[in-house]
Structure 1
């Protein structure tokens, strides 16, 4: 009969499953001897043959005391045998026995009286070699002590993953008594979601027999339901000596301290990385909105799920906070969320103005100058961090559970507030998070304040620049004129580019374009002085080269500034153009019957260098021709060679594009980029016959 047939379940008792032998008795080699009431051996097991050396034929019918005992031990043995047979009480102990080969064995006995159906008594003796039993007893005692006293959690589960045995350490980890484990399944004791994967691991080991060693599991048990613990889990399949699967051995070591230390080290590395990112990514420009957005981008998602940056509107308007404004008015500058969320609709959108109620974290921070940390937000407290009840509902729906408000402080004054929140990230903000956010906010606040200051200075410079530029009439005798000035973008300063259109005697017109090297209010002021000087000198009716010589001497007195300039005079009667250049890019002459060309002029040196004479060059300019004067901001870029850009300018002017006004807009639209770092002055004059309606004369 096969082993499978031997282990078949009785149909009437499906739960009483037969199984193979455990092997323990085989290891002990337990011998069985049955003796009659007078002490003669009646039955002799194979194990008895192996233990004592006598065959069944040699032993059966013999008196056990004479066969197995030395003369000095027989009296004691007969007395003990008689007590068992008379009283019916069993006897257990060790007794020296004589082996067939003559050597003495110390044998562990269990003797008991048996009674058959006729009332006759027999003695059953179970015996094993003490030398075999003692090591097993020591191992069992050691195992029992280790299981009971070790701080390591130990459990045995059967093939259905029901607990068969647990030690006190594991019971303490689970928060369930040892008795409370027995017969209950793994998931009944550990129902949390993190343990689903652990259950699958148990099943896999049960199926494959491949052990799992030091697999980390993080979760919460009944012993500490409010805090995550970490365990290093090892799993082994249990089998007997015959290969029968008995179940699972589970070894569990609490490594929460190591886990939390690793998490803290990871948080420290993250904080250092965020600080490094903040240093490199925040304040890359002098744009207020962009700097605020850079701050938000650094913090999301590594520190917060959502961030909003608000600045006092008075700071943006005047450059300083209005401490008397009640309630203070904020302008939202940046918002960032880690993922699409309903909470986005609860945050004031960038560009909008808002005020906050007195209990709002932003108001608290503005009053105290200190950051505010709210570790746990319940549904009743969400109204505190929300603008109104509708916003509080949106925050609740998004799962917001922790919040921080951090002041933006620059030069000792609060200029705004940054709000941070978590929803999907289950960890509440802590003091370390607050410290990190405050450090980044402090750095960003200075950059924001610098950007605000720069914008005010730039606005003043641009206002000055525009006020110093003329508003030329679109019509001069024999000319149609159009001019444009475009400042550099928000992150650059206003430069010293200028243009001028000056009426001269005899229907002539002076045309000038120049560029003061520098930026800001000083450059704009220098530009105004040069333009005034140019206008004054033009009235002396000098040649263009003489005008530039006088401007050169004037500019030398404006150290350290130098400037480039093109000065031209157009005579509609002679249909001639006289031009002189001081280190400036050459003008373009667009003829009605020929391709556009860069005028070949002696370049000259910039104004302010001194010591180099300038030359005047004369060109024909007939009705239909068009002169284009410009500063380098129109054609120079950081990425393209100047020759290529000048070629682009010529291609864009061929063929001419309508009026002078239309040509100005066309060139700026095609050559000017939003992020260009230089300002542009552009002056276009188109020749017309004298006396035509286009003259305006």
Structure 2
């Protein structure tokens, strides 16, 4: 075989030069072939780079004199002879003389070769010693870093198969490192859905855009039945000369950090929920509204279904607390679900009582005064949650899987229960949820307790107020009369407003409206005393100013109370009204003819109880068909509108004729009053009519 038989070039099969491919190109490995005489028979292109001589200059030359200094020549000849005669390979570092005269250390691997003709050759594989040392150090460092890294590291090839994993990721996955190699991710992690992960990896391979710190929850063979959270980063790995090697993956177990972060976020949301409840629950002294505010705060932050059920006996103030056994009669106050849910079909209609047996969980909750929690609800549990089997079936179809009932306790008394259920939220109620629900229930219970006692007192005041007002206005000659009394909104105490229609001698009629300043039972009682006194003085057929003077003296003796009052006497024979005013708003006179409605111009006077001030009587014509509207300030006064604008609106509403007096009352109340107004209203409308005429 000739030396040409060993000649090689850097061309591929197509004759097109191929670019640098990998580690051998980085090392610049040179190949030199010597015949048995020590002459150079093969000289690779890298040999030219390493030693400086071209192939033309080196081929056929004796290698030792060309490349070795005189002092090392005998040693080289001996090594060469030993390799060729014994076939023993030799490896080591040797100083070589470069063409430019420099001496450099070169790593050698020498071995004996034989061709198909039986001729022997010596092959020397050589590389620059400093380059080899640098690559060895880099490889050793990289290998140690990868092997000892607390971060899981893996290399996936371009087919997304494991090519390399470090011990950390092997421990994370619970699979030995060697069993990773050649397998796909889902073959190592069977619980992981491979489709989205492999889609991301292919995108990284295609674009080179890394994915950094992506959280993944995975159940691995190392942690069966426990889902752990990992921070995963993917980077495309490219060789020194641009060849794509695959995807490098780094994995950090962040389960504890993730749990701590989630718990911190959960705590923050719970504190925010408690703060929200403090601001939103108990805004009024209404039991039903407080219950609605509680479920509004609870859903969906804590539960998907929430209901407030109060013991019927508690609402009616029949007993101080719940017994420790027997069925219980509840009254549903509020129910809310997160979106449409069949769970609402299982709930009792709000406002209606419903009996729950002793075996029901809500009954157990109010009997013991302690929370009742069922983290994982089964079919038997549903029968103890719902009032009947039909309701239990609704809960099953709604997907109720976790249940919690906490008592509503205020001032040591169990009022009822807040019941919660989860359908959409996959997590069961835990101890933290029980504590949070208990905190919300405790805050709401105080508001509910305040509201029920207030409503009881207010109902008593309203009852007293209504009992002190006249019933159907008495028949008044020449007058048609309609009246209304509307108590204040439930969150406000009842006031001392009143009206009266008092028959007098000579077919005359006294028309009265008044307002005791203040609220509550005391104000209502004061109103009753003034109304009684007014009736007594009216019987004496006194002038209106005289009546107010006597009432003023009486009111002076009532501690802390003053009142406004408008007293008018209608005389059908004269076709007039005589009026006196004690600090009250002026009445509206609506003429039967074309003249517009107007506020009657009266001396305003001072309220009753001030004392020492005289009152004046004013005569006002009041013909057939005319209407006189008397009212208290709750009809026109608001916190935001100027009083003159409200009075103008009242007069404008009365411009429309042709309505009955009852319709007029309703129209005025509907147009001028809002449901939440904090003051009560007394309204009296009178229309003169011909003697013997019917109601118009």
Same fold, TM exceeding 0.5? yes
Q: Which moved more, 1:122-131 or 1:68-77?
A: 68-77
Query: 1:414-429 to 2 correspondence within 5 Å?
Result: 414-429=414-429
2:607 paired residue number = 606
Q: Any conservation in 2 of the 1:307–1:336 contact (CA below 8 Å)? A: yes
| Aligned residues: CA RMSD | 2.9
Counterpart Cα distance in 2 of 1:385 and 1:82: 98
Return the alpha-carbon distance in structure 2 between the equivalents of residues 61 and 670 of structure 1: 120
> Which runs of no fewer than 5 residues in structure 1 stay unpaired?
9-17
Shift of 1:294: 0.9
Following superposition of structure 1 onto structure 2, how do residues 225-240 of structure 1 map, counting pairs within 5 Å? 226-240=225-239
Q: Equivalents in 2 of 1:193, 1:345: separation in Å?
A: 39
1:164-563 to 2 correspondence within 5 Å? Answer: 164-189=163-188, 198-224=197-223, 226-318=225-317, 320-324=319-323, 326-377=326-377, 381-473=381-473, 475-563=475-563
Q: How does 1:23-62 map to 2 (within 5 A)?
A: 23-62=22-61
Is the contact made by 2:95 and 2:104 (CA closer than 8 Å) also made in structure 1? yes
**Farther-moved stretch of structure 1 (491-500 vs 617-626):** 617-626
Render the CA deviation track for 1:471-525: whole Å, top value 9, x for unaligned.
2445222222222111122222211111112222222221211111111211111
Shift in Å at residue 7 of structure 1?
A: 9.2
Q: Deviations over 1:133-156 (max 9, x none)?
A: 111111111111111121111121
Q: Determine if contact 1:313/1:331 at 8 Å carries over to the other structure.
A: yes
Q: Using the alignment, how far apart are the partners of 1:123 and 1:348 within structure 2?
A: 99
- Matching residue of 1:147: 146
Tell me the TM-score normalised to structure 1 length: 0.90
Partners of 1:72 and 1:103 lie apart in 2 by 15
Structure 2, unaligned runs of 5 or more = 1-10
CA distance in 1, matches of 2:349, 2:171: 52
Equivalent in the alignment of 2:637:
636
Could you tell me how far apart the structure 1 residues matched to 2:190 and 2:23 are?
36
Partner residue of 1:14?
none
| CA gap 1:373/1:56 in 2 versus in 1, 3 angstroms | same
Give yes or no for contact 2:626–2:687 (8 Å, CA) kept in 1: yes
Per-residue CA deviation, residues 537-591 of structure 1 (Å, 9 max, x unaligned), is 1122211111111111111111211111111112222222111111111112222
The 3-state SS of whatever aligns with 2:316 is helix
Counterparts in 2 of 1:542 and 1:53: CA distance versus 1, 3 Å: same
2: CA distance, partners of 1:19 / 1:171: 37
Greater mean deviation of Cα atoms: 480-489 or 443-452: 480-489
Deviations 1:648-679 (A, max 9, x none): 22222223344333322332233232222211
In the alignment, the residues of structure 2 paired with residue 669 and residue 209 of structure 1 have an alpha-carbon distance, to the nearest angstrom, of 71
**Cα–Cα, structure 1 residues 57 and 472, in superposed 2: closer, same or farther, change >3 Å?**
closer
The 8 Å contact of residues 192 and 219 in structure 2, kept in 1 or not, is answered as no
Superposition pairs for residues 672-683 of structure 1, below 5 Å?
A: 672-683=673-684
> For the Cα contact (< 8 Å) 1:474–1:480, is it kept in 2?
no
CA deviation profile, 1:75-102 (whole Å, cap 9, x unmatched): 6555554554455453333344444555
CA distance in 2 between partners of 1:536 and 1:640 (Å): 38
Please give the alpha-carbon distance, in whole angstroms, between the structure 2 residues aligned to 1:206 and 1:47. 33
Q: Pick closer, same or farther for the CA change 1:69–1:267 going to 2, 3 Å.
A: same
Distance 1:405 1:503, change over 3 A: same
**Contact 1:7–1:19 at 8 Å: present in 2 too?**
no
Counterparts of 2:656 and 2:156, CA distance in 1: 90
Question: Is the alpha carbon distance of 1:659 and 1:212 closer, same or farther for their aligned partners in structure 2, counting shifts above 3 Å?
Answer: closer
Q: Could you tell me whether the CA contact under 8 Å between 1:93 and 1:108 is conserved in 2?
A: yes
Distance 1:590 1:405, change over 3 A: same
Q: 1:646 maps to which residue?
A: 647
1:318 alignment partner, SS class? coil
Deviations 1:46-84 (A, max 9, x none): 222332344434443444455444566556555554554
Q: Give the Cα–Cα distance (whole angstroms) in 1 for the partners of residues 606 and 414 of structure 2.
A: 50
Q: 1:145 to 1:204 in 2, by over 3 A?
A: same
Q: Which deviates more from structure 2 when the two are superposed, residues 454-463 or residues 374-383?
A: 374-383
Q: 1:55 to 1:688 in 2, by over 3 A?
A: closer
Taking a change above 3 Å as real, the CA distance of residues 394 and 568 of structure 1, as seen in their structure-2 partners, is same
